[in-house]
Amino acid sequence: NKYTPEKPNKPIYPEKPKDKTPPTKPDHSNKVKPTPPDKPSKVDKDDQPKDNKTKPENPLKELPKTG
């Protein structure tokens, strides 16, 4: 009984994403275009302070360890 309901569900799954993919492709392109400039900008700013803080901390921690 469990196998029967799973079989019909499997074919429906691949069909649903296929139908949504074509109409979503054009929408995704428009949404992705404005997002790339905003995402990298925010990530770069967040990555910079994190990298700067990690760089000075690494050498400081290494100095006392060697000494």
pLDDT tens digit sequence for 8-40: 555 555 555 555 555 555 555 555 555 555 555
Q: Is the pTM of this model over 0.75?
A: no
Quote the pLDDT of residue 42: 53
Which region, left, alpha or beta, applies to residue 35 given φ > 0 means left and ψ of -120 to 50 means alpha? alpha
Q: How many structural domains is the chain composed of?
A: 1
What is the C-alpha to C-alpha distance for residues 30 and 14, in angstroms, rounded to an integer? 25
**Following DSSP, what letter does each residue of the chain receive, concatenated?**
--HHHHHHHHHHHHHHHHHHHHHHHHHHHHHHTTHHHHHHHHHHHHHHHHHHHHHHHHHHHHHHHH-
Domain that holds residue 47: 3-66
